Amino acid sequence: MKKTDCLIIGSGPAGYTAAIYASRANLQPIMIQGLQPGGQLTTTTDVENFPGYPNGIMGPDMMEDLKKQAERFGTKIISGFVTKVDFCNKKGDYHKIIVDEKDTYMSKTIIISTGASAKYLGLESEKKFMGFGVSACAVCDGFFYKGEDVVVVGGGDSAAEESIYLSKLCKKVYLLVRKDSMRASKIMQKRVLKTSNIEVLFNHETKDIIGDQNVNKIRVINNQNNQEREIDATGFFVAIGHKPNTDVFKGQIKMDSSGYIVTKADSSLTDIHGVFASGDVQDSVYRQAVTAAGSGCMAALDAEKYLSEFE
Ligand code: NDP
């Protein structure tokens, strides 16, 4: 069993920023990285909107830099997944965390930065072809569809970004948008619309994903006139948003109806003493790397303040 003052769960921009601040404050934090070390940005390409990078930076490179920065000040990084938590609501007491069902950590403060994961449509065929044509990450899997035709679903920035990425590899990209307009930022919409091998199909939804071993057709429906058609495509990329990674905390901490952890206004405080939340796990609105990093900083400062009450 390991004891510490500060344990950080999750290794995205929020977790690493919390680690940098907590380690510089000499809290000697332990970070449990989670299933996707580095978080969502490790599956993206160019990050052009994080301040301080005038030429942009690749997502995985940015996360590697953040990791090095956290380690430089003494953060101990553990590769593992939190499988159980037992939060104690007595001020100053230790919370219990089980990693990989076997290792026990006791910590006076916990910073939850577990982020969010990709959502899927919920079709049976989507499950059937997962890894055989269906993906939620163009950067991870786009390479396999080089020179082929693919379909992307969604109307937000993720769908726009994935379509643009795939357009550079694939012969043709069909983007299915269920409404008559996209939710993506204007600049991303403009890039999509001016890319010659992206065809945006507004008011279109997915009826089925068809194939033998691998995907070879997508049946779509125009929700205005109910006309169906089949698109020949070997890849199907789902980019319809995310779900907070909070299953392990259910029943232990206050969440909203979508499962996002509720924090007190202008702070990272949760309803449990000594447990703080930062990044996408508590933010269904902004969901940006820079806002996640900012809230990671807040969580570390809140944890430090909390611990100082017991010195
Ligand atoms: P969003 O929640 O912004 O968008 C989800 C999209 O998927 C919406 O267009 C929605 O449609 C559509 N959708 C949802 N469910 C379905 C369904 N069942 N069938 C078909 N379509 C569906 O998620 P994103 O992942 O795109 O973005 C999340 C956040 O991350 C945003 O704030 C975004 O700005 C940011 N982001 C920024 C990037 C960047 O700056 N480089 C890159 C990627 C994301 P509808 O509009 O009809 O609800």
Asked about 88 being catalytic, the answer comes back as no
CB of 179 sitting under 6 A from ligand 1: yes
Instruction: Output the pLDDT for position 38.
Output: 93
CB of 33 sitting under 6 A from ligand 1: no
Which sign does the torsion angle of CA 297, 95, 273, 263 carry?
positive
Specify whether 131 is located in the same domain as 62: no
Give mean pLDDT, residues 124-134. 92
* Integer angstrom CA distances of residue 300 from 9, 72, 135, 147: 12, 17, 35, 47
> 287-310 pLDDT, tens per residue?
889 999 999 999 999 999 999 998
Domain end (from 183, 216, 238): 238
Specify whether 127 is located in the same domain as 178: yes
Q: CA 7 to CA 111: how far, in whole Å? A: 6
CA gyration radius for the chain?
21
Asked about 137 being catalytic, the answer comes back as yes
Residue 167 has pLDDT above 80, yes or no: yes
Domain end (from 202, 221, 238): 238
Specify whether 113 is located in the same domain as 72: yes
Domain end (from 217, 238, 259): 238
pTM higher than 0.95:
no
CB of 121 sitting under 6 A from ligand 1: yes
Specify whether 81 is located in the same domain as 57: yes
CB of 157 sitting under 6 A from ligand 1: yes
Pick the atom of ligand 1 nearest to 179's CA.
Answer: 47
Specify whether 73 is located in the same domain as 208: no
Please give the torsion angle defined by the CA atoms of residues 216, 222, 228 and 229, in that order, rounded to the nearest 10 degrees.
-40
Ligand 1 pocket test, candidate residues 48, 62, 158, most atoms within 8 A of CB? 158
Catalytic residue among 5, 6, 137, 280: 137
Specify whether 234 is located in the same domain as 247: no
**Protein residue closest via CA to atom 29 of ligand 1:** 287
Catalytic residue among 61, 65, 93, 140: 140
Question: Domain range for residue 17?
Answer: 2-117+242-308
Please check whether residue 6 is in contact with residue 303, taking contact to mean a CB–CB distance below 8 angstroms. yes
Which sign does the torsion angle of CA 252, 256, 260, 264 carry?
negative
First to last CA, the chain: 23
Which residue did the predictor score with more confidence, 275 or 139? 275
- Does residue 160 sit in helix, strand or coil? helix
Give mean pLDDT, residues 103-119. 96
Q: How many domains does the chain divide into? A: 2
Instruction: Output the pLDDT for position 249.
Output: 98
Q: CA 11 to CA 40: how far, in whole Å? A: 10
Specify whether 90 is located in the same domain as 46: yes
Specify whether 37 is located in the same domain as 142: no
CB of 240 sitting under 6 A from ligand 1: yes
Among the listed residues 254, 233, 258, the one whose alpha carbon sits nearest the alpha carbon of residue 87: 254
Specify whether 111 is located in the same domain as 125: no
Instruction: Output the pLDDT for position 106.
Output: 98
Secondary structure, 3-state, 242-301: EEECCHHHCCCCCECCCCCECCCCCCCECCCCCEEECHHHHCCCCCCHHHHHHHHHHHHH
Specify whether 56 is located in the same domain as 147: no
What is residue 139's DSSP assignment?
H
Those residues whose C-beta lies under 8 Å from the C-beta of residue 85, and which sit 6 or more positions away, are 95, 96, 97, 98, 110, 248, 249, 252
The CATH number assigned to the domain holding 45 equals 3.50.50.60
Instruction: Output the pLDDT for position 3.
Output: 96
Specify whether 253 is located in the same domain as 227: no
Specify whether 175 is located in the same domain as 86: no
**Protein residue closest via CA to atom 15 of ligand 1:** 240
Asked about 46 being catalytic, the answer comes back as no
